[in-house]
Amino acid sequence: MFVAFFKIGCVSFGGYMAIISMVERELAEKRDWLKRGELLDYLAIGNMLPGPIAVNVSSFSGYLVYGWKGFFASWLGLLLPAFASCLVLAQIYSLASGSDFFAAFSFGMLVAITAVIAASIKTLAADAISDSAGLTVAIVSAAVFLWSPFGSPVLAIAVLYIAALTFVAARLWNAGWSILFQSLSEAFWVVVPLVSVCAAVAVVKTLGISFENKLLDLSSNLGASSLMLFGGAYSFVPIVGNVVVGEREWMSMEGFMDSVAVGQISPGPVLIAGAYIGYSVQGVAGAVIATVAMFLPSALMMVYAGEKARRLTGNRLVTGMLDILKPVIIGLLCGGIVQIVWRLAGPEEWAARLVFGAAFAVSLWLLIFRKINHMYLIFGCGALYSISSFVT
């Protein structure tokens, strides 16, 4: 089991669906451990839960085959190549940080990464926003994130999630209290943990609670954030970014976007960027703690939820909440892009801002209209910036 997922982890570029397709081929077609198409049933459950979908579904498939041994073998096997790659790249970044050539190359990659995130918003919005109500929710979410009336963007996100659940519950109550009771009883084991996490985050942020031990502080913040990541890997950017850049001030915006770049060019899930953050904060121990905090809680929730999959897929409370959370996530991503662009391009002179804007616009055009591979774009943009640093 470990070897099978380790091989997948070494070549799993191209997003979570690429990982899922490789897991399906390895476990169902080659080894006959799962029935064909069975993994897609659990993918539907993974889409309803927070965290990295590919890791959650893969870990659950390992659990189905060999129990908890299979769970940890698949979880570790899939993440280990990405983790090792992340540490190597983090060390390269550290050694080359004083080089003007590497600084230009790194900044060029950040421009492309920003465009990749912006292009993903367009794709996600096509499915998430279907009417004016959805558009209004997205705009309000972006505004709340950027100009948080709660003092903390992460606290604002927790409030938005709880508000979404409350709205759906109220709508079901209007349809009949029996419908609400049935939906809540079926989804109790999913809704209560999610609301508890959001409530805990709200309390911690309101009271300003933190831990003196940096590893404990790192694990608690990233662990709580991982259970608020709906809508794909890029929801990581506004949620985790505001923790490590704004609230804890562990990294600069440039450093945080470097972590996203490392997540993009490493095999496996993009959220392995958390390992880079942990390494930057507390070395190898921080990288290990951050990786466990980012990936383990939601994977365990997937095991818990997956065993009750049939009841969850048709639950009106959960599906209704996800329908509202989709435009909320789009709003958060838009707010995150505004923050990134402002911090990366804002402080520079007008000429640098103009170059940044032009490079960003061209990258976005290539992604949306020319369908260029994002890996080629990231390295190409980095190379152009590094060449231009010699010319200028």
Asked if 287 and 214 touch (Cβ cutoff 8 Å), the reply is no
Q: Is the pLDDT of residue 114 over 80?
A: yes
Asked if 253 and 340 touch (Cβ cutoff 8 Å), the reply is yes
| C-alpha closest to that of 237 among 221, 220, 219, 225 | 225
Q: Is the pLDDT of residue 198 over 60?
A: yes
Over the stretch 18-64, which tens digit does the pLDDT of each residue have?
A: 687 788 778 887 888 877 667 766 776 777 778 888 899 899 989 98
Task: Tell me the average pLDDT across 349-354.
Answer: 74
Task: Look up residue 250 and give its DSSP letter.
Answer: -
Asked if 27 and 61 touch (Cβ cutoff 8 Å), the reply is yes
- Residue 289 CA, distance from chain mean position: 17
Per-residue model confidence (pLDDT) at position 205: 64
Per-range mean pLDDT, top range of 98-102, 157-161, 214-218: 214-218
Over the stretch 279-288, which tens digit does the pLDDT of each residue have?
A: 999 999 999 9
Q: Is the pLDDT of residue 12 over 80?
A: no
- Residue 117 CA, distance from chain mean position: 11
Over the stretch 329-338, which tens digit does the pLDDT of each residue have?
A: 888 888 888 8
Buried b (16+ CB within 10 A) or exposed e, 56-87: bbbbbbbbbbeeeebbbbbbbbbbbbbbbbbb
Rounded to whole angstroms, how far apart are CA atoms 99 and 124?
37
- Token look-up 């640093």 returns 389
DSSP three-state, residue 48: coil
Q: What percent of the chain has pLDDT over 70?
A: 87
Task: Look up residue 231 and give its DSSP letter.
Answer: S
Per-range mean pLDDT, top range of 77-86, 198-207, 309-318: 77-86
Higher pLDDT, 367 or 342: 367
Per-residue model confidence (pLDDT) at position 226: 84
Q: What's the mean pLDDT when you consider all of the chain?
A: 83
Per-residue model confidence (pLDDT) at position 69: 95
Over the stretch 121-175, which tens digit does the pLDDT of each residue have?
A: 887 788 778 888 889 989 988 888 888 765 566 677 777 777 887 888 888 888 8
Rounded to whole angstroms, how far apart are CA atoms 317 and 63?
27
| C-alpha closest to that of 190 among 156, 152, 230, 154 | 230
Q: Is the pLDDT of residue 352 over 80?
A: no
Per-residue model confidence (pLDDT) at position 37: 65
Tell me the domain boundaries of the chain.
Answer: 2-391
